[in-house]
Amino acid sequence: MDAAVSAIRGALVQLTVWMTAAPRAATALAVLRIVVGVLALVYYLRDYGQRHLFFGPDGVYGSDAVAATTRELGTFNLYSLSDSPVYFEVVFHAAILAAAAVTIGFGGRWAIAVHYVLLWSTYGQNPALLDGGDNLQMIVVPALVLTECTSRLGVHIRPRVSTPGLVRSTLHNTGLLLIAGQICVVYLMSGLYKVQGPLWQDGTALYSILRVPDFYFPGVTELLFASDTLLVLGAYGTVLSSIAFPVLIIFRRGRLPAVLMMTAFHLSIAFFMGLTAFAAIMVACDLVFVSGHVERVLVRARSSIGPLRFRPSRVRGSTPVPDTTRSGVRA
């Protein structure tokens, strides 16, 4: 009994230290922040010329339908506050600026919070344009508000404190755990849901999915249909990898294989089914489990790019400036 109590107490102490000592996985969360911002910019600018048709008060859905849906869901939509085309332009372009600020890491937590409100409102203007990645973004972005994701890979006007205090570290790591937990839930529930379906049990699910016109890829889908074995293995592999992911990431050596496995899975979804936004946000979220590897890749990239840039020669006798690009806490 005493041994069990001591083990629990030791685990709680380790968890407390882990939560409060320093921000974890800061680089991977910065990459996730950039992906969130870029996806939003693509969403806004892809149909920019047709923004009034797709998102405006007199567009496809119209202000009355949007307002009714907003009331029914008990949520909010900034666009519903006015039917004025001028007001629509102001809100829509403010959303673009907020997404750009998030992408470059400008504005800190406030920029991310404003981005969330504007993105949620724009999503409500035309749900038909969404592909599933929006659901995960609406869960992930509030968690990013808690983190120090703008401390890396961002533009900073003022010098930043190198080591956040206890409160900021705790908030950051809480946001990290929320994102990691959400990803595990998504994979586990996805796998368990699939395994109950007869199409996944007999291995014909991918065949049925790829026959849907929206997911049909001329010239490529036919090649997949020619191999029954490949389709069956793909169906079973999808279920097994989804269920195995939350187990593999528990072990340090299992994290990289798990992330690489699911990255390949999501790249295939993006290529064959066209769900690029969903695939991108899932891959970016997976990176929080391998932040050390992400940081090493970025360091190597900077090292390879560095020699190509102009470097002024150091004056004889001057003191070199210490390199802080590799500082920080790894997960």
Dist. CA 40–CA 83, nearest whole Å: 23
Residue 326 lies in a domain: no
Residue 255 lies in a domain: yes
Residue 294 lies in a domain: yes
**Average pLDDT score over residue span 98-113:** 92
Nearest Cα to 168, choosing from 108, 103, 100, 101? Answer: 108
Q: How many domains does the chain have?
A: 1
Give the CA count within 13 Å in the CB-facing half-sphere of 188: 10
Nearest Cα to 140, choosing from 87, 189, 177, 85? Answer: 177
Residue 262 lies in a domain: yes
Does residue 182 register a pLDDT over 50? yes
| Beta-carbon count within 10 A of 127 CB | 11
Q: How confident is the model at residue 324 (pLDDT cuts 50, 70, 90)?
A: very low
CB 99 within 8 A of CB 41: yes
Residue 106 lies in a domain: yes
For residue range 57-92, list pLDDT tens digits in order: 888 888 888 888 888 888 888 888 888 889 999 999
Residue 317 lies in a domain: no
Taking all residues of the chain, what is their mean pLDDT, rounded to a whole number?
82
Dist. CA 44–CA 96, nearest whole Å: 7
Dist. CA 318–CA 291, nearest whole Å: 36
For residue range 224-262, list pLDDT tens digits in order: 777 778 888 888 888 999 999 999 998 888 999 999 999
Phi and psi at residue 319, to the nearest 5°: -95, 125
User: Exposed, middle or buried: residue 285 (CB in 10 Å: 0-12, 13-18, 19+)?
Assistant: buried
For residue range 37-50, list pLDDT tens digits in order: 999 999 999 989 88
Alpha carbon of 211 to those of 182, 215, 221, 239: distances in Å?
30, 7, 8, 20
Question: Which range marks the domain in which residue 272 is found?
Answer: 22-155+166-302
Residue 142 lies in a domain: yes
